[in-house]
C-alpha cells in the first residue's frame, strides 16, 4: 500500500534556528530519507515552499476563485511529504514516528486511494 506522510510544522521556527541546529535537522532528514530508500519504501519525497506562496482555488457559481495563501490559517503548515510503499498501516506509522518532523511538528499518515 502507498501512504503519504504529510509533515506539518511551524515554518516560522526554521529561520529562527541557529545554523548548527538547521544543519543537524537537515542531516536527520537526509538519514531518514536514506533509511527509507535502503528499506525499499521510498517512492517520492520533497519539501514545499512556504505557505505564503500557496494559492487556493475553488469554484464559486462555476467560476474559479483564486485566493493567495493557504486554505486555513493555522500555526502549523504543510512543509513537505514522503510517499512510501509499505505492506500495512502499522509499518507506515512506524516510519511516521521515525520522521524528524514528528519531533518538531506532526506527521500525518494517510493512505493513497487505490
pLDDT tens digits, 81-96: 999 999 999 999 999 9
**What is the C-alpha to C-alpha distance for residues 33 and 42, in angstroms, rounded to an integer?**
8
Sketch out the chain's domains with CATH numbers.
2-47+75-111 (3.30.70.1060)
Q: How far is CA 92 from CA 68, 80, 86, 105, in A?
A: 33, 16, 6, 17
pLDDT digits (tens, 9 = 90+) for 12-31: 888 899 999 999 999 999 99
Amino acid at each position: 500500500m502507498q501512504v503519504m506522510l504529510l509533515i506539518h510544522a511551524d515554518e516560522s521556527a526554521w529561520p529562527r534556528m541557529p545554523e548548527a541546529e538547521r544543519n543537524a535537522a537537515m542531516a536527520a532528514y537526509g538519514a531518514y530519507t536514506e533509511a527509507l530508500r535502503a528499506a525499499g519504501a521510498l517512492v517520492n519525497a520533497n519539501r514545499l515552499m512556504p505557505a505564503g506562496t500557496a494559492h487556493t482555488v475553488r469554484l464559486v457559481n462555476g467560476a474559479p476563485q483564486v485566493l493567495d495563501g493557504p486554505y486555513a490559517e493555522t500555526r502549523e503548515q504543510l512543509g513537505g511529504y514522503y510517499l512510501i510503499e509499505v505492506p500495512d498501516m502499522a509499518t507506515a506509522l512506524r516510519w511516521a514516528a521515525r520522521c524528524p518532523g514528528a519531533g518538531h511538528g506532526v506527521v500525518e499518515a494517510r493512505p493513497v486511494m487505490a
